[in-house]
Amino acid sequence: MTFRDLIYPDCRQLVLKRGGARQRDAEQYEVKIRTKNGDERWLDISTAIIEFDGMLASLVSAFDLTERKHAEEKVQLLAATDPLTGLGNYRRLVEALHAEVKRTGRTGRPFAVLLLGMDQLKMINDRYGPMAGSRALCRLGDVLRLFCRAIDTAARYGADEFAVILPETTAAAARLVASRIRSRLATASLQPPLSASIGVAVYPQDGETVEALLCTADRELYGMKPV
């Protein structure tokens, strides 16, 4: 094997391009490799053309960046995660919404958004205590995970409000998911009993911008809220 054989396919073109360029200035780039035992590693590659024994030669240095990369990924994950439920936060929700708008622009296929509001969270906090209220939010988060596909995004974006983005999903299919979430909450044996009001909106028919789409789902959500 050569070093090039260890490089991940999505990095090989970069290495070929840099390796084929004639240059006298130092250059630096990062590549991901797979070691002979299957581990993934990130390397910081520095290259330069130097004079060696009267001839031009390539000087290549490689530094292992794997631990730093893992730390960066952890920081990025924490920045987009709700610390209580482990779901995405508002930042993650907005990023996913904009990504879905772009995908719909490419494919022409719609996506749906569910906005969920936990009913009577204040009553739960007052009656059972704030710890019970936190556990109730986590229970709702667990239900959302249960009904989420790998391509879906579930996020908490308010004190008692959640959202689920359902790519390539029609209004009828989204309402079926909402019904299943409500049924799951209603049949749970844990106390206190939980329920959620859910608004549904589909892009682009219910709003041609992220803001308009969320407003449509929000209106439906609060129209269902118990008095």
The Cα–Cα gap between 147 and 164 comes to 10
Cβ-in-10-Å burial (0-12, 13-18, 19+) of 60 comes to exposed
Q: How open is the CA angle 184-187-188, to the nearest 5 degrees?
A: 85
Residue 201, SS3?
strand
Alpha-carbon dihedral of residues 50, 51, 53, 58, nearest 10 degrees? 30
Catalogue the active-site residues: 160
The Cα–Cα gap between 170 and 201 comes to 9
**What contacts 109, CB < 8 A, 6 or more positions away?**
103, 168
Which contiguous run of DSSP H or E holds residue 176?
A: helix 171-187
The Cα–Cα gap between 212 and 74 comes to 32
